[in-house]
Amino acid sequence: MGVMADGDERSRVVFDLEPEDDWPPVELEGLWAEPLGEDEYRLDNVPWFARGVASGDRVLAQPDADGVLKVRERLEWSGRYTIRVIPCGSGTAERQVQEVIDTFSVLGAECEGALPSFRVIALDIPPTARLSEIKALLIEGEAGGRWGYEEGCVDEAWKRL
């Protein structure tokens, strides 16, 4: 368990990842989570690589033989979407990441870049964001070679946009 700057207690929960075709580039991902009791936790940050979960989701996590809290399943979806954007093209990585952040943050997405470790931006999208505009920009940018993207956690409503 850890203590965050504001004094709230948080735990680190870990997702086992299964890379396919070198993605994701890691086999484990740790996220901060709020303990809710009885092995239940609420994710407190956006996942960079874990699929099928979003910030605010309630998960079941249990300690493994080494005491590491491993996520076993998602118990409840928060209603937030997780999208990963990987910039392409020319320019510095810093500039590419900032352009993606500038593009999506004005539409209500909370964006976080992973530099210097990875050239990827995690979009944490609340249901109140301008979803259809965000999705249209994702598709347009990928078609234009500006970025690739992965839908890490979406629902049927997102898929129908």
| 26 CB burial (10 A radius; 0-12, 13-18, 19+) | middle
How high is the pLDDT of residue 127?
A: 95
At 37, which amino acid appears? G
Going from the C-alpha of 70 to that of each of 6, 40, 48, 110, the distances in angstroms are 25, 11, 16, 26
How far, in Å, CA of 58 to CA of 15, rounded? 14
Q: What is the pLDDT of residue 89?
A: 80
Listed as ranges, residues in the chain with pLDDT below 50 are 1-5
DSSP helix/strand/coil, 113: strand
Domains detected in the chain? 2-76 (no CATH), 81-160 (3.30.70.260)
Any bridge partners for residue 123, and if so which? 83, 111
Q: What is the DSSP string of 7-35?
A: S-EEEEEEEE---BTTBSS-SEEEEEEEE
What pLDDT shows up at residue 3? Answer: 43
Helical H segments across 39-155, by residue range: 93-105, 131-143
Query: Which tokens in the block code for residue 124?
Result: 């944490």
Q: Give the C-alpha separation, 119 to 97, whole Å.
A: 7
* Residue of 48, 124, 128 whose CA lies nearest to 86: 48
Please say whether the dihedral angle defined by the alpha carbons of residues 18, 31, 108 and 57, taken in this order, is positive or negative. Answer: positive
Question: Rounded to an integer, what distance in angstroms lies between the CA atom of residue 44 and that of residue 35?
Answer: 10
Instruction: Please give the pLDDT value at position 4.
Output: 45
